DNA sequence: AGTTATTGTCGCAGTTGGTAACAATAGTAT
DNA sequence: ATACTATTGTTACCAACTGCGACAATAACT
């Protein structure tokens, strides 16, 4: 397994397995995800990485996430593992490595087939500071409805993550991690509508949320708008 | 990557990745899974296997399944990928290989850490014919509530698969693959109760199932019992 | 003070799910 | 043949929940 020990940095990783992260953020009623841009090869991709020999799979995902967002203690969820042969396309990677001035043998595992484990993450849009990776030039938020063309099967990975997120929308963590600590019922409804892609009934939503027991009502908020000011809420058990 | 080409059979596989299958069957109101027994090392394990270089991940799972059950076109579902370091324990494998008379170098990838992709399958208990693998001695059905102690983290894998199955119980495929083609409402209810582990209300269950549109009512059945004979049902779209 | 827009709440109707009651029925006992 | 028994299919009733409209409360603006 040490064929390429002249590239010591690449030798600490498990070969043939990668991690790809769909990092969700929410801002101004738009659901966004972090996308890397490799300008040298004019390609967009999901943030990803490899698993160190002495590292748990979940830890690796956390690390990748921390590297791209600067955040720790992120809500992370493994959702699917992608292993079709059709996702194998060594050209972008070869180009990238070449243009980066590195020189790997053609049969290096980096150019072989990969099985990738997909994770989705929920982060506070305002707290995350997107950091480009070692080879990528930009790391930016994109509206999920307005993504650039993505490398390999990354589009499929995003779709699957979105489906998973929609299924889990009623989990406390979704709102907790995508909204500010404190929010109004309207803001929570907006989030639900954005994620589900459906219009929701205002009053039923209100009632359902209050009955769920997941919310705690705080004092009033003065919005500065010309109407009755809404209450503020936070998720029960998320005291500061 | 060809370090051990003197073992050609093992060279066609992706290194460091495996597949483990939780194969569910249903018989006499008991939910069962297929367990392999390695008598030489007195160990029980889930059926598993490796992924060929030129094989899709899902195809590999299908193949593993076919090898252990003799069945094709099986309902398969990937549910989680397990990658903790703690699951690494090379001793059983080393013992097994040694007792099988083979001789692999100590640093062969078979003895290294594995990331395993978990699949669960639903099979017709009566149609499956459990086949022991190349190293295992027995392949038998075990009641999920009465499993022997399993190798490594296989117990955890089973638990996770069970949770997934419970979440998906309302999917047509669950009943379709675990029951005979034709069944009574009582038999369907028994299946639901066994999987969910909860007692269900008879009449509400009946109503819900009929309203779901997933069932098609056929002619009567004579049970030979001393009471009104139940209708037979099949899942809509599963005509023979 | 009147206007306007948004929020919180309530009542009504329709739907769903749990429960009990009852008829249908197929074998068994008498 | 008649009564009995156990299970199934169906219906009625009630509680809980959801969608929807109505209405009051309220904060800023005119």
pLDDT mean for each 10 residues of chain A (240 residues): 49 91 96 93 93 95 91 93 90 83 82 94 93 82 96 96 95 92 96 96 97 92 86 85
Nearest to A65 by CA among A50, A82, A52, A48: A48
* Chain centre to alpha carbon of residue A210: 29
Please tell me the predicted confidence (pLDDT) of residue B98. 83
| Count of A-B CB contacts under 8 Å | 71
As given in the structure block, the two tokens for residue B119 are 């699949």
Q: Classify burial at B83, counting beta carbons within 10 Å of its beta carbon; exposed 0-12, middle 13-18, buried 19 or more.
A: buried
From A219's Cα to the closest Cα of chain B, the distance in A is: 38
The length of chain A in residues reads: 240
Contact residues, chain B, for A10 at CB < 8 Å: none
Say if residues B8 and B105 touch (Cβ distance below 8 Å).
no
Cβ–Cβ < 8 Å for A87, A152: yes
CA distance between the termini of chain B: 48
Is A36 in contact with A49 (CB distance < 8 Å)? no
| Contact by Cβ (8 Å): B163, B47 | no
Residues in B closer than 8 angstroms to A107, CB to CB, are 1
pLDDT at B100: 78
Beta-carbon contacts of residue B143 (< 8 Å; ≥ 6 apart): B30, B31, B32
Instruction: Characterize the bridge pairing of strands A13-27 and A115-122.
Output: parallel
d(CA A62, CA A19): 10
Say if residues A107 and A90 touch (Cβ distance below 8 Å).
no
CA distance A27 to A25: 7
Task: Give, for A176, the enclosing helix (H) or strand (E).
Answer: helix A172-178
CA distance B189 to B195: 10
Query: In this complex, which residue's CA is closest to the C1' atom of nucleotide C8?
Result: A230
Q: Count other Cβ atoms within 10 Å, centred on residue B19.
A: 25
Phi then psi for residue A207, to 5 deg, are -60, -45
Q: Which of residues 145-184 of B touch strand C (CB under 7 A)?
A: none
Contact between B92 and B41 (Cβ < 8 Å):
yes
* Alpha-carbon distances of A28 from A87, A174, A182, A191, rounded to whole Å: 34, 16, 15, 9
| DSSP label of A111 | G
Residue B185 beta carbon within 7 A of nucleic strand D = yes
Choose among A231, A138, A192: nearest CA to A26.
Answer: A192
- Return all residues near A206 (Cβ < 8 A) that are at least 6 apart: A185, A189
Helices A185-196 and A154-167 cross at an angle (nearest 10°) of 140
Structure tokens at B56: 């899709």
Helix, strand, or coil here: A21? Answer: strand
How many CA atoms does the CB half-sphere of B3 hold within 13 Å?
13
CA A89, A56, A137, A144 dihedral sign is positive
Q: What is the pTM of this model?
A: 0.92
CA of B37 to C1' of D16 (A): 50
Contacts of A157 in chain B (CB under 8 A): none
- List residues of chain A with CB under 8 Å from any CB of chain B: 1, 3, 14-17, 51, 53-58, 60, 78, 80-86, 107, 109, 112-113, 115, 117
Question: What residues of chain B score a pLDDT lower than 70?
Answer: 1-9, 239-240
pLDDT digits (tens, 9 = 90+) for B112-137: 899 999 999 999 999 988 988 777 77
pLDDT value, residue A9: 66
Are the C-beta atoms of A45 and A55 separated by less than 8 Å? no
Residue B36, class by beta-carbon neighbours within 10 Å (0-12 exposed, 13-18 middle, 19+ buried)? buried
pLDDT for the residue numbered B4: 42
Residues forming beta bridges with residue A45, ordered by sequence position: A36
Task: Give the separation between CA A26 and CA A141, rounded to whole angstroms.
Answer: 10
């Amino acid at each position: 397994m040490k064929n390429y020990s002249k590239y010591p940095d690449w030798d600490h990783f498990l070969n043939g397995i990668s991690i790809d992260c769909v990092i969700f953020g929410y801002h101004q009623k738009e659901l966004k995800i972090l996308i890397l841009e490799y300008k040298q090869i004019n390609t967009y991709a999901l943030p990803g990485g490899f698993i160190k020999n002495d590292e748990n799979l979940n830890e690796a995902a956390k690390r990748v996430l921390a590297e791209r967002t600067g955040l720790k203690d992120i809500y992370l969820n493994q959702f699917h593992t992608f292993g079709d042969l059709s996702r194998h396309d060594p050209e972008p990677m070869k180009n990238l490595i070449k243009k980066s001035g590195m020189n790997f043998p053609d049969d290096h595992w980096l150019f072989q087939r990969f099985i990738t484990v997909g994770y989705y993450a929920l982060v506070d849009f305002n707290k995350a500071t997107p950091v480009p990776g070692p080879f990528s030039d930009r790391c930016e938020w994109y509206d999920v409805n307005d993504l650039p063309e993505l490398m390999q099967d990354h589009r499929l990975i995003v779709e699957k993550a979105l489906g998973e997120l929609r299924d889990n929308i009623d989990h406390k963590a979704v709102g907790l991690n995508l909204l500010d600590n404190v929010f109004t019922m309207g803001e929570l409804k907006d989030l639900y509508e954005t994620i589900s892609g459906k219009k929701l009934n205002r009053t039923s939503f209100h009632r359902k949320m209050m009955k769920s027991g997941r919310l705690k009502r705080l004092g009033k908020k003065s919005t500065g708008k010309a109407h009755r000011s809404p209450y503020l809420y936070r998720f029960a058990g998320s005291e500061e």
